[in-house]
């Protein structure tokens, strides 16, 4: 694995599948962006594995690709964000 590939996030399988879907179906970045209600640079970042789609966008991608790229392919836990409950500050 090269230096560039090693620096990428761990969701390469989702990005690779997304890139393959776009290529196989001759879908431009602009067309994918319109269909998924995001910008073309966002599609590019997902395709290249530089960013992970939000849970909502993962669901949109799964529906749009008819399951060719599922949420589980991105390799991130959907409930990974931990938030502490609100606590009133003393004072």
Domain ranges across the chain: 10-71
More confident residue, 11 or 85: 85
Rounded to two decimals, the pTM is 0.73
- Predicted confidence band of residue 60 (pLDDT cuts 50, 70, 90): very high
pLDDT (mean) for 34-45? 97
Q: For residue 11, what pLDDT is reported?
A: 54
Question: What residues contact residue 43 under an 8 Å CB cut-off, 6+ apart?
Answer: 22, 29, 32, 33, 36
Please give the average per-residue pLDDT across 15-31, as a whole number.
Answer: 96
* Mean predicted confidence (pLDDT) in 40-61: 94
* The listed CATH number (1.10.260, 1.10.3470, 2.30.30, 3.30.70) that belongs to domain 10-71: 1.10.260
- Mean confidence (pLDDT) of the chain: 82
């Amino acid at each position: 694995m090269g230096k560039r590939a090693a620096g990428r996030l761990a969701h390469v399988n989702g990005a690779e599948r997304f890139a393959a879907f776009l290529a196989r179906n001759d879908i431009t970045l602009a067309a994918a962006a319109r269909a998924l209600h995001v910008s073309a640079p966002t599609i590019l970042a997902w395709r290249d594995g530089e960013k992970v789609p939000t849970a909502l966008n993962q669901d949109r991608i799964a529906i749009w690709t008819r399951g060719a790229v599922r949420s589980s392919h991105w390799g991130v836990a959907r409930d990974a964000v931990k938030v502490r409950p609100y606590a009133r500050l003393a004072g």
